[in-house]
Amino acid sequence: MHDVIVIGGGNAGLCAALTARESGASVLLLESAPRAWRGGNSQHTRNLRCMHDAPQDVLTDAYPEEEYWQDLRKVTGGVTNEALARLAIRDSAHCRDWMRRHGVHFQPSLSGTLQLSRTNAFFLGGGKALVNAYYRSAELLGVHIRYDAPVARLELSQGRFVAAHTGDERIEARACVVASGGFESNREWLRQAWGQSNGEWVADNFLIRGTRFNLGVLLKFLIEAGADTIGDPTQCHAVAIDARSPLYDGGICTRVDSVSLGIVVNQLAARFYDEGEDFWPKRYAIWGRLVAGQPGQIAYSIIDAKAIGRFMPPVFPGVKAQSVPELARALGLDAAALVRTVSDYNAACRPGSFDHATLDDCATSGLTPPKTHWARPIDTAPFSAYPLKPGITFTYLGVVVNAQAAVFFDGQPSPNLFAAGEIMAGNVLGQGYTAGVGMTIGTAFGRIAGTQAAAAAVRGKMHAAA
């Protein structure tokens, strides 16, 4: 019998498996995906938000605990557990040496992400390189790894973990860490969460930016088994991504960064939100929800030739046309309606000095909704458009944990069942998002859960011996 079973082979699960093994436990890691798709959503990540009081290797300046905490409080609108949040924040100040020991390399922020150079340490090669490093280290340390091993259910006895069931197998262990992610790739669950609009399931028009393996099987099992839950069950983090992206695993490259440089219209060729409200890195996260609120859950970012070369190149080429009516026809929009929207917008643009690097004075006047910055007439051919759909990154619903990462049943912490990563991230991140915080939570609570599971296994052994 293994001391510890870790369910889920993404960042949090790997951190748990590594720390449990370092604490002397024998560890079995069950990854539901085949080897080629291992790592869950972590394979698509790229950085870790780190607290630091002075410049560090790849991090500039300082990012003290209090500022980090205030940022988190702000993005979550207070839907967070301060004690657990501070625990994760403090862990981020010193976890990187441990990560390096397991083969993770860091680099300064990537081009196009200068705004993160102070707060976020980037993984050299991105999240898949990190996942590869952890798997290599786990193999070297003697963690047993099984791919294609989705766990259907657990066997619990009064809040105590007894065994996990995968396929026809029943695998006992002295302790267990559940790090199996959220439910964002479970289409049926998303349907129920988002409901119908005009006789259509809203969520059917969503794309999943991450893994196809986050089906939420264990999350559902734990909820039904009476685990205490946290986080809005109907909410997910969604950004506007290119509508032509793959259904799963589109990852980072499907983002479209042209929004603030032009206008965004819906299927009726009408604008619906201020595209220039704030800098794009501060606004991209609300656009998933905005597009989800439009008919057919689709929108189109429209720019003219002046914007080319001013935003990160998108993965798909823009739909190009020499005139606005031609663009409308290429997009399948009503040409007259789009011409009206564009000319109304153009007429409302006040003269100003365009500066994409500041909140400039180029704004519309007398237009609803307004465009408050970077508003320049769309008048220079060729015109380009990028179709947008909501792309789901992760879900918020999870299980309640304490500072030991123990799962709660009826207000009581389990002695040997722990949770880490997206399945418990809602404790810290009840809503909202800020770059790199998911990896901070996964790393901190993965390490806590691994240590605690190893300790629980020792207690289990002593108990059995007695």
Partner 1 sequence: MQPLDPLLREAGAATSAAARGTAAAEVARQLQICNACRYCEGFCAVFPAMTRRLEFGKADVDYLANLCHNCGACLHACQYAPPHEFAVNVPQAMARVRVQTYSDYAWPRALGRLYRHNGVAIALALSSGLALFLVLVIALTGNLWHEPMAGNFYRVFPHNLMVSMFAPILLFALLALALGVRRFWRDISPADRAQDAPRAAVAEATQAALSLKYLDGGHGEGCNEADDRFTLWRRRFHHLTFYGFLLCFASTSVATLYHYLLGWSAPYALVSLPVLLGTAGGIGLLIGPSGLLWLNLRRHPLHGDAAQRPMDLGFIALLLLASASGIALLAWRDSGAMALLLALHLGIVMALFLTLPYGKFAHGVYRTAALLKWAIEKRQPSRLQLEPE
Cα distances (Å, whole numbers) of residue 398 to 52, 90, 401, 422: 29, 22, 9, 7
Give me the DSSP letters along 337-369.
Answer: HHHHHHHHHHHHBPP----TTTT-S--BSS-SS
> Is residue 75 involved in binding partner 1 (CB under 8 A)?
no
- Judged by CB under 8 A, the stretch of 2-10, 149-157, 308-316, 446-454 that binds partner 1 is 308-316
- Judged by CB under 8 A, the stretch of 168-176, 314-322, 346-354, 361-369 that binds partner 1 is 314-322
**Which one-letter DSSP state was computed for residue 252?**
G
Q: Which of 317, 336, 365, 463 binds partner 1 (CB under 8 A)?
A: 317
> Is residue 254 involved in binding partner 1 (CB under 8 A)?
yes
Helix (H, G, I), strand (E, B) or coil at 48: strand
CB closer to partner 1 out of 130 and 400: 130
Helix (H, G, I), strand (E, B) or coil at 62: coil
Q: How many residues bind partner 1 (CB under 8 A)?
A: 55
> Is residue 132 involved in binding partner 1 (CB under 8 A)?
yes
- Judged by CB under 8 A, the stretch of 63-71, 142-150, 243-251, 413-421 that binds partner 1 is 243-251
Give me the DSSP letters along 375-431.
Answer: -----SSSEEEEEEEEEEEEE--EE-B-TT-EEEETTEEEEEEEE-GGGTGGGT-SS
- Judged by CB under 8 A, the stretch of 48-56, 279-287, 415-423, 445-453 that binds partner 1 is 279-287
User: How near is the Cβ of 314 to partner 1 at its closest, in Å?
Assistant: 6
Q: Which of 252, 305, 337, 339 binds partner 1 (CB under 8 A)?
A: 252
- Judged by CB under 8 A, the stretch of 124-132, 149-157, 165-173, 220-228 that binds partner 1 is 124-132
Report how far residue 164's alpha carbon sits from residue 261's, in angstroms, rounded to the nearest whole number: 51
> Is residue 335 involved in binding partner 1 (CB under 8 A)?
no
Report how far residue 99's alpha carbon sits from residue 94's, in angstroms, rounded to the nearest whole number: 9
Q: Which of 55, 78, 313, 369 binds partner 1 (CB under 8 A)?
A: 313
> Is residue 305 involved in binding partner 1 (CB under 8 A)?
no
Cα distances (Å, whole numbers) of residue 430 to 86, 376, 404, 409: 14, 37, 19, 19
Report how far residue 309's alpha carbon sits from residue 88's, in angstroms, rounded to the nearest whole number: 38
Whether 174 contacts 460, CB under 8 Å: yes
Residues that bind partner 1 (CB under 8 A): 36-37, 43-44, 46, 105, 107, 110-112, 114-115, 122-129, 132, 136, 242-244, 246, 249, 251-255, 267, 279-281, 296, 298, 308-317, 319, 331-333, 356-357, 387
